[in-house]
Amino acid sequence: MRVLRIAIPTPLRRVFDYLPPKGSENRELMPGIRVRVPFGRREVVGILLEVGTNSQLPTHKLKFASIIIDDKPLLPKALFSLVLWAAEYYVHPIGEVLSSSLPKLLRLGGAATLKQQLGWRLTAAGKAVEITKLARAPRQFNALRVLREHPQGVNSHDLKVANVAIPVMRVLVQKAWVEQFTIKSDYQDAQVATLVKPSELILNTEQQSVVAKVSAELSHFQTWLLHGVTGSGKTEIYLQVIAKVLQQGKQALVLVPEIALTPQTVARFQERFTVPIVVFHSRLTDRERLQGWLQAKTGQARIVIGTRSAVFTPLLTPGVIIIDEEHDLSFKQQSGFRYCARDLAVARARLENIPIMLGSATPSLESLYNVKRKRYQLLRLHKRAGKAIKPTFHVVDIRKQQLQHGLSEHLIAMMKNHLSRDGQILLFINRRGFAPVLFCHACGWVAECKRCDAKLTLHFEPHELRCHHCGNRQVVTRECLACNAQQVMPLGFGTERLQQAITTIFPNIKVARIDRDSTMRKGAMQKLLTDIHAGKHQILIGTQMLAKGHHFPKVTLVAVLYADGGLLSADFRGTERFAQLLLQVAGRAGRAEQPGEVLIQTHHPQHPLLQHLLADGYLSFADTVLAERQQAQFPPYHYLALIRVEALNQQQPLAFLQQTRSIADTMHSGDVKILGPVPAPMERLAGRYRAQLLLQASNRRRLQNMLQPLAVRLEQLKQSRQVRWSIDVDPLEMV
């Protein structure tokens, strides 16, 4: 008797036994195929984990599976093993983990069939067209320009990235300037030389050394940590290494923190390589995501660029994995299946036996710790690429100073100086909206969210109060809700208020604001970046969105307006993130031939960590923080798991965690510390009360051995149905 052990996408931490569908007695059933099965009152799509010969249930109680969907596993063997390992390590139900590793249409049982992909390329007539004469047809002009940059042809995704509409292509086809063709999925050896366009950039000695070291070890697993100062040409090194991989007939997987914020990264890859490139991000349709996934799986796509979920993309011939800005918090999933894409990528590279490169100007302390333990190989880029030099730092003490709209006199003077020399200026303030607080000057009342333990942020456009945690919106009141006095006023500065202030101080200067609010509309971010590069805006105002990999060659002055928040953070990771953000923002200055300056406004100019960072550099700063972590028994020297609970009733989370602690106390012998339970730093969020319990251990295996049985015990508690609970292994945020 054959028994199918199926992983069902359900919160239950177990697999389910089924009998094979009737009539499939002689059919080969392989782990990793999809099976449609009855589950309760509905049918769901599960993944076959194993074919056994018996079950703990009597045979007559086992249901028959409905349909065997696949003949072969969807995921390659190494990737399937990675998903199984991830479910165990992150203590998450295997069915949900397997389901989340597939595109939505496959999770629903759709066919894993790759549609024939069409491309567009210029005809002889199209190549002869003088596109300069198409000034009155800008869309056709743009389409022909894109096609001339890609003589091998473009696919529909390439057109979408280049903002070329399909109807425009149809018009060009009718004119016989463009022809359609079927894109082939294979590349013959004779074509290898045409896969990579020659680079006009000349690598410096450091870059050449890095490329040579990595290229010499492309045949086996190795983890490289590329630490290069901002502007040192890390992306060019990625491109050079990928070129070597492509010439070997293999594929490359590139993970970036937020694809929508770095369109120039995708553009650089498309400019350099003529091979098909697929991009994964949240704005794709389900059909687009499936087709890109299948193109990667079948080998048609040679380069895959995506955000954290792209770590599960199957590759036919994997050759290298690259993680850009490896320190970025975006690589950690903060809800549901709480995995870290960077760490999973390293595990995947080991299983695939291929090299992986982690790049950053400010590497995470975990990665630097792995260098110390000889797990990672460190590569250094000390100098900026080309003729660019490191910016000069200025720390401005704003204590007792009269600030003009949040700007010191020294900063305003420097801004005038840089503007007079046609330099662009970047003002960094990590607060969206007009003002973070609306309060009453008469009685001290503050506008607070009714669903969260948080203050409402005042926004100017649209004019409203908004909670940045739950999205709650309220009408702006002119009268105090506590004393009815008409003395309600904003307190503090956000990006909107700063934008208004700058237009007052510099009325003839064009200002661009880049934050989540100003880039919500489709194409808004790309348009802003295009205008900035064209010099249409001289002053840029933005949040941390501006710190993530953007290249602004005309920016000569960067100002950090409020540095104190990071210096005084209660989170033990606060100083690390402050240093990373400060240096990433500062790295936008002086990336071309013009020298750059960075000004930091603070009430704590003599703060030892700030002085250490600016005087001795990031690696020396990191060594100091690592020593503090070791003494405090924090990661990466010790290992954490955070159990989070939330409920509508304020008492239930703490009561559930108290039971959790009682169970956990019986499962260890003192080698795992249990801290709590305590209310979460923000106890009430979106109308639900939250609490947490922290588990800490000096040995990762001992902590893992405790978490799995603990999760099973918690699942059996009656109270577990009255609350939402989750386990976060290696948490990066304690909120």
Residue 423 pLDDT more than 60? yes
Give the number of other Cβ atoms within 10 Å of residue 41's Cβ. 5
Q: What is residue 32's predicted lDDT score, i.e. its pLDDT? A: 94
Would the pLDDT of 569 be above 90?
A: no
Could you tell me what percent of the chain has a pLDDT over 90? 59
Please report, as a single letter, which amino acid is at residue 28. Answer: E
Cα angle 344, 35, 5 (rounded to 5 degrees) comes to 75
Residue with structure tokens 């700058």? Answer: 502
User: Which tens digits make up the pLDDT trace of 618-650?
Assistant: 999 999 999 999 999 999 999 999 999 999 999
Which residue did the predictor score with more confidence, 198 or 504?
504
What is the band of 165 on the pLDDT scale with cuts at 50, 70, 90?
A: confident
User: At residue 502, does pLDDT exceed 90?
Assistant: yes
Cα-based distances in Å from 278 to 149, 269, 302, 533: 18, 11, 8, 25
Determine the average pLDDT of the residues in 304-322.
Answer: 95
Residues ≥6 apart with Cβ < 8 Å to 467:
449, 451, 452, 454, 456, 457, 473
pLDDT score, position 469: 92
Q: How many CB atoms lie within 10 A of CB 283?
A: 9
Q: Residue 237 and residue 228: Cα distance in Å, rounded? A: 11
Cβ-contact 633, 640 below 8 angstroms:
no
- Tell which wins on pLDDT, 358 or 552: 358
DSSP string, 219-242: TS-EEEEEEE-TTS-HHHHHHHHH
Average pLDDT for residues 55-62, to the nearest whole number?
87
Confidence class for position 449, pLDDT limits 50, 70, 90: very high
Mean pLDDT for 171-188 is 78
- Look at residue 366 in the predicted model and tell me its pLDDT: 96
At 435, the pLDDT band (50, 70, 90 cuts) reads very high
pLDDT in tens, 683-706: 999 999 999 999 999 999 999 999
pLDDT interval class at 262 (50, 70, 90): low
pLDDT at residue 619, as a whole number: 94
- How would residue 188 be classed by pLDDT, with cut points 50, 70 and 90? very low
d(CA 276, CA 169): 19
Q: Which two tokens stand for residue 218?
A: 């492309």
Q: Within a 10 A sphere around the Cβ of 565, how many other Cβ atoms?
A: 11
Residue 538 has pLDDT above 80, yes or no: yes
Which 8-state DSSP code applies to residue 252?
Answer: E
User: What is residue 250's predicted lDDT score, i.e. its pLDDT?
Assistant: 95
Output the DSSP codes for 341-396. Answer: HHHHHHHHHHHHT-EEEEEESS--HHHHHHHHTTSSEEEEE-S-STT--PPEEEEE
Averaged pLDDT of the chain: 89
| Lookup: tokens for 532 | 């900035």
The more confidently predicted of residues 56 and 730 is 730
How would DSSP label each residue in 551-619? --TTEEEEEES--HHHHT-SSTTHHHHHHHHHHHHHTTSS-SSS--EEEEEES-TT-HHHHHHHHH-HH
State percent of the chain over pLDDT 70. Answer: 96
Q: Is the pLDDT of residue 339 over 90?
A: yes
Per-residue pLDDT, averaged over 608-621, amounts to: 91
Amino acid 387: pLDDT: 67
As a whole number, mean pLDDT of residues 472-481 equals 90
Q: What does the block give as tokens for 578? A: 């402050």
Q: Which of 656, 645, 637, 639 is nearest to 706 (CA)?
A: 639
Instruction: Categorize the per-residue pLDDT at 711 as very low, low, confident or very high, splitting at 50, 70 and 90.
Output: very high
The mean pLDDT of 134-149, rounded to a whole number, is 86
Gap between the Cα atoms of 18 and 68, Å rounded? 12
521 or 578, higher pLDDT: 578
